[in-house]
Amino acid sequence: MANMHSNNNNQPQKRRVPIFVFYIIFIVIVVTVSQFLVPMLTAPKHKEIKLNEFIEKIKNGEAVDVEFEKTKSRFILKPADFEESNTYYITGDLGNDILEYDIITACNEAGLDYSTPIPSNTAIWEILLLYVLPLVITVVFFIIMMRSMNKRMSGVMSFGKNTGKIYAQKSTGKTFADVAGQDEAKQSLVEIIDFLNSPGKYTAIGAKLPKGALLIGPPGTGKTLLAKAVAGEAGVPFFSLSGSEFVEMFVGVGASRVRDLFKQAIENAPCIIFIDEIDAIGKSRDNVMGGNDEREQTLNQLLAEMDGFDSSKGVVILAATNRPEVLDKALLRPGRFDRRIIVDLPDQQGRVDILKVHARNVIMEPDVDFDVVARATPGASGADLANIVNEAALRAVRAKKTRVSQTELDDAIEVIIAGEEKKNKVMSDHEKRIVSYHETGHALVTALLTHTEPVHKITIIPRTSGTLGYVMQVAKKEKVLLNTEEMMEEITILTAGRASEKLEFNSITTGASNDIEKATELARKMITVYGMSDDFGFVNREKTNNKYLIERSSLDCPEDTANRIDSEMQRVITECYNKAFQLLSDHKATLDRIAGVLYDKENLTGSDFMELMAECEPDIEIKKVDDGI
Instruction: Tell me which residues are annotated as active site.
Output: 439
The rounded distance, in Å, linking the Cα atoms of 296 and 290 is 11
Length reported for the chain: 629
Sequence-separated (6 or more) residues with CB below 8 Å from residue 328: 282, 283, 284, 285, 299
- The CA-to-CA distance between both ends of the chain, in Å, stands at 78
- On whether the CB atoms of residues 474 and 492 are closer than 8 A, the answer is no
- On whether the CB atoms of residues 321 and 279 are closer than 8 A, the answer is yes
The rounded distance, in Å, linking the Cα atoms of 505 and 523 is 27
The rounded distance, in Å, linking the Cα atoms of 464 and 466 is 5
- On whether the CB atoms of residues 34 and 85 are closer than 8 A, the answer is no
**C-alpha dihedral over 424, 428, 429, 435, to 10 degrees?**
-80
Q: At what angle do helices 183-197 and 223-234 cross, to 10 degrees?
A: 30
Q: From the centroid of its chain, how far is CA 263?
A: 33
Q: Side chain identity at 420, as an amino acid letter?
A: E
Q: At what angle do helices 429-448 and 588-601 cross, to 10 degrees?
A: 130
- On whether the CB atoms of residues 175 and 189 are closer than 8 A, the answer is no
Which letter does DSSP use for residue 180 in this model?
Answer: -
Among 444, 427, 418, CA closest to 499: 444
Sheet with 455-459: list strands edge to edge.
Answer: 470-473, 455-459, 603-605
The rounded distance, in Å, linking the Cα atoms of 458 and 471 is 5
Measure Cα distances from 369 to 178, 261, 372, 415 in Å: 20, 47, 6, 18
Burial class (CB in 10 A: 0-12, 13-18, 19+), 264: middle
Among 609, 576, 388, 345, CA closest to 478: 345
The rounded distance, in Å, linking the Cα atoms of 303 and 572 is 51
Q: Which helix (H) or strand (E) holds 609?
A: helix 606-616
- On whether the CB atoms of residues 612 and 599 are closer than 8 A, the answer is no
- On whether the CB atoms of residues 334 and 372 are closer than 8 A, the answer is no
Q: Side chain identity at 557, as an amino acid letter?
A: C
The rounded distance, in Å, linking the Cα atoms of 320 and 529 is 28
- On whether the CB atoms of residues 363 and 396 are closer than 8 A, the answer is no
Q: Side chain identity at 496, as an amino acid letter?
A: A
The rounded distance, in Å, linking the Cα atoms of 502 and 555 is 33
Determine how many CB atoms are found less than 10 A away from the CB of residue 621.
9
DSSP secondary structure string for all residues of 374-405: HHT-TT--HHHHHHHHHHHHHHHHHTT-SSB-
Longest Cα–Cα distance of the chain, Å, equals 133
The rounded distance, in Å, linking the Cα atoms of 609 and 623 is 11
